């Protein structure tokens, strides 16, 4: 079972489900817990299937990178057939579950996220830098899935959270791409730091993403009563933007690691502040 657990990428799974739950709970009328739990269960299956499909497609490239060489497929602990069956089973079960027990928008958005990640983002990683925004969209769509579970897909706060998660991925991936740029180059993955070794492209994307995250993070304050959310969102956004600007000014491993650490704490603190303020 441990090989399948590694295919799921539990850290990614937890992050996506948390953002999805926050979007649902931040809706004007949060859904019943039973509906939210059912939606999260279906999305968890989709994420598991997408992650396994991604690792199956990238098994040869993963074997060339130290940070991914110990994954089940490149390490030889799992076979391609096992991964393919697991990916198909989880993906199909997730779609069927959402279609059967959730509003149609939930199933459609879940399927769209899966298709973007598996069918478009994954093959583009070695072909074009367009995989960066497309991957960001795939990663942010579960926020709208959570909102759809509350029948609030196009409400201002969930849309702002979608924009925040979308923008957040630019500084996050820019930092990771810089830190592991040599491994990505060996694996022929087109991250910004490989396309432009000077770091200007990675730094520029980080600044643009952090600026967008700052603005998106402030939008919910317009629809919330007073409280701690606004100062928390403003402080996090300004600090993140300053860290990204520092990396753009002088790209180096130390500043990339600082940017990466900032990206790890920004959204959890922002989301907790939102829930506490709501």
- Tell me whether residue 196 is exposed, middle or buried, using C-beta atoms within 10 angstroms of its C-beta: 0 to 12, 13 to 18, 19 or more: middle
Q: Which of 106, 121, 153 is the last residue of a domain?
A: 153
The per-residue pLDDT for 69 is 87
Do 83 and 211 have their domain in common?
no
- CATH number, residue 261: 1.20.120
The per-residue pLDDT for 278 is 64
Do 33 and 82 have their domain in common?
yes
Do 137 and 275 have their domain in common?
no
Do 163 and 99 have their domain in common?
no
The per-residue pLDDT for 66 is 86
The per-residue pLDDT for 144 is 95
Question: Total domain count for the chain?
Answer: 2
Do 105 and 177 have their domain in common?
no
Do 142 and 125 have their domain in common?
yes
Do 228 and 260 have their domain in common?
yes
Do 147 and 163 have their domain in common?
no
Do 177 and 271 have their domain in common?
yes
- CATH number, residue 19: 1.10.357.140
Q: Which of 153, 171, 187 is the last residue of a domain?
A: 153
43 in Cβ contact with 59 (< 8 Å): no
E-strand spans in 111-177?
A: none
Range of the structural domain that residue 34 is part of? 1-153
- Series of mean pLDDT values for 10-residue runs along the chain (278 residues): 84 92 92 92 96 93 87 90 96 95 91 96 93 95 94 91 98 97 92 95 98 97 87 98 98 98 97 89
Do 141 and 50 have their domain in common?
yes
Do 52 and 103 have their domain in common?
yes
Q: Which of 110, 135, 153 is the last residue of a domain?
A: 153
The per-residue pLDDT for 24 is 94
Do 145 and 159 have their domain in common?
no
Can you say how many angstroms the Cα of residue 127 is from the centroid of all Cα atoms in its chain?
Answer: 20
The per-residue pLDDT for 1 is 62
The per-residue pLDDT for 207 is 99
Which has the closest alpha carbon to 162: 132, 142, 182, 188?
142
């Amino acid at each position: 079972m441990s090989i399948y657990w590694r295919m799921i990428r539990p850290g990614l799974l937890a992050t996506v489900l948390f953002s999805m739950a926050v979007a649902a709970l931040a809706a004007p009328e949060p859904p019943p817990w039973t509906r939210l739990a059912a939606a999260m269960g279906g999305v968890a299956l989709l994420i598991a299937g997408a992650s396994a499909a991604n690792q199956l497609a990238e098994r040869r490239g993963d074997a060339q990178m130290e940070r991914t060489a110990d994954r089940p497929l490149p390490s030889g602990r799992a076979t391609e057939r096992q991964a393919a069956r697991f990916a198909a089973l989880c993906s199909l079960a997730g779609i069927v579950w959402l279609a059967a027990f959730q509003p149609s928008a939930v199933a459609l958005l879940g399927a769209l996220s899966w298709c973007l990640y598996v069918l478009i983002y994954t093959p583009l990683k070695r072909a074009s830098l367009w995989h960066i925004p497309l991957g960001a969209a795939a990663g942010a769509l579960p926020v709208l899935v959570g909102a759809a579970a509350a029948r609030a897909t196009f409400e201002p706060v969930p849309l702002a959270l979608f924009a925040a998660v979308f923008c957040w991925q630019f500084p996050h991936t820019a930092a990771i791409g810089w830190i592991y740029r040599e491994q990505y180059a060996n694996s022929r993955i087109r991250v910004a730091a490989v396309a432009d070794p000077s770091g200007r492209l990675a730094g520029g994307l980080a600044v643009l993403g952090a600026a967008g995250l700052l603005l998106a993070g402030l939008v919910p304050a317009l629809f919330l009563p007073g409280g701690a959310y606004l100062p928390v969102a403003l402080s996090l956004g300004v600090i993140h933007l300053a860290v990204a600007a520092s990396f753009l000014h002088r790209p180096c491993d130390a500043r990339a690691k600082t940017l990466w650490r900032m990206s790890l704490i920004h959204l959890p603190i922002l989301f907790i502040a939102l829930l506490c303020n709501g």
